[in-house]
Structure 1
Amino acid sequence: MPVETLSCVRCVKMDYDVQEGTISRDFIEYDFAEDALDFETQLAEARDVKFTQTLSEHLSIGAHIVCTGTPSDDLPWFAVNIGTGDPDGRGDIAVHFNVRLPQCYVVRNTRRHDKWGIEETTAFRLFPFKMDRPFTIEVLIEEKETLWAVDGEHYCSYSHRNPSPFAATWVQVAGVRNATLKVDKIAEYPALAAPPVEVPFRQSVDAAPELSEKNSWRPNVIASLSNGVPEGQQIIIHGRLRPLLHSFAIDLMDYGREWPYPNVHVHVNVRAHVDSQKDRQLVVLNAWLGAWGPERRQRTARLVPGDKCTFRIIRGGDEWSVYANDVLIGELEYRAAPAGVKAIRVRGDFYPDDIFLCPASNSPIREEKTA
Structure 2
Amino acid sequence: MPVGVFSCVHCVKMDYDVQEGTIPRDFIEYDFAEDALDFENQLAEARDVKFTQTLNEQLSIGAHIVCTGTPSEDLPWFTVNIGVGDPEGRGDISVHFNVRLPQQYVVRNTRRHDKWGLEETTAFRLFPFKMDRPFTIEVLVEEKETLWAVDGEHYCSFSHRNPSPLAATWVQVAGVRNATLQIGKTSEYPTLAAPPVEVPLRPSVDAPPESLEINCWRPNVIATLSNGVPEGHQIVIHGRLRPLLHSFAIDLMDYAREWPFPNILMHANVRAHVESQKDRQLVVFNAWLGAWGPERRQRTARLVPGSKCTFKIIRGGDEWSVYADDVLIGELEYRAAPAGVKAIRVRGDFYPDDIYLCPATSSPIREQISS
Do both share a fold (TM > 0.5)?
yes
Deviation at residue 42 of structure 1 after TM alignment: 5.8
Classify the secondary structure of the residue corresponding to 1:44.
helix
The 4+ residue runs of structure 1 with deviation greater than 3 A are 1-4, 39-44
1:341 aligns with 2:341: yes
C-alpha distance after superposition, 1:106-160 (max 9, x if no partner): 1111111111111111111000000000000000000111100000000001111
Given the alignment of the two structures, is residue 98 of structure 1 paired with residue 78 of structure 2, yes or no?
A: no
SS of corresponding position for 1:47: helix
Q: TM-score, normalised by structure 2?
A: 0.87
Which residue in the other structure is 1:123 paired with?
A: 123
- Say how many residue pairs are matched: 333
Asked whether 1:208 is paired with 2:213, we answer: no
Matched, 1:295 2:295: yes
* Counterpart position of 2:6: none
> Which residues of 2 match residues 1-371 of structure 1 at below 5 A?
1=11, 43-361=43-361, 363-365=362-364
**SS of the residue aligned with 2:166?**
helix
Higher radius of gyration, 1 or 2 = 2
Cα shift at 1:275: 2.0
Give per-residue Cα distances to partners, 1:317-352, cap 9 Å, x unaligned: 111111111111111111001010011011111111
Identity level (%)? 85
Uncovered stretches (5+) of structure 1, i.e. residues with no partner: 5-34, 367-371
- Structure-2 separation of matches of 1:326 and 1:147: 36
Q: Secondary structure of the equivalent of 1:218?
A: coil
Q: Which amino acid aligns with 1:285?
A: F
CA contact (8 A) 2:42 2:76 kept: no
Unaligned runs of 5+ in 2: 1-10, 15-35, 366-371
Letter matched to residue 238 of structure 1: H
Q: CA deviation at 1:279?
A: 1.6
Whether the 8 Å CA contact 2:42–2:75 is kept in 1: the answer is no
Q: TM-score, normalised by structure 1?
A: 0.87
RMSD of aligned Cα (Å) = 1.9
Instruction: Say which SS state the counterpart of residue 276 (structure 1) adopts.
Output: coil
Aligned counterparts of 2:100 and 2:46: Cα–Cα separation in 1? 13
Q: Which amino acid aligns with 1:284?
A: V
Counterpart of 1:50 in structure 2: which amino acid? K
Q: Distance in 1 between matches of 2:308 and 2:13?
A: 28
Counterparts in 2 of 1:3 and 1:206: CA distance versus 1, 3 Å? farther
**Distance of 1:43 and 1:79 partners within structure 2:** 11
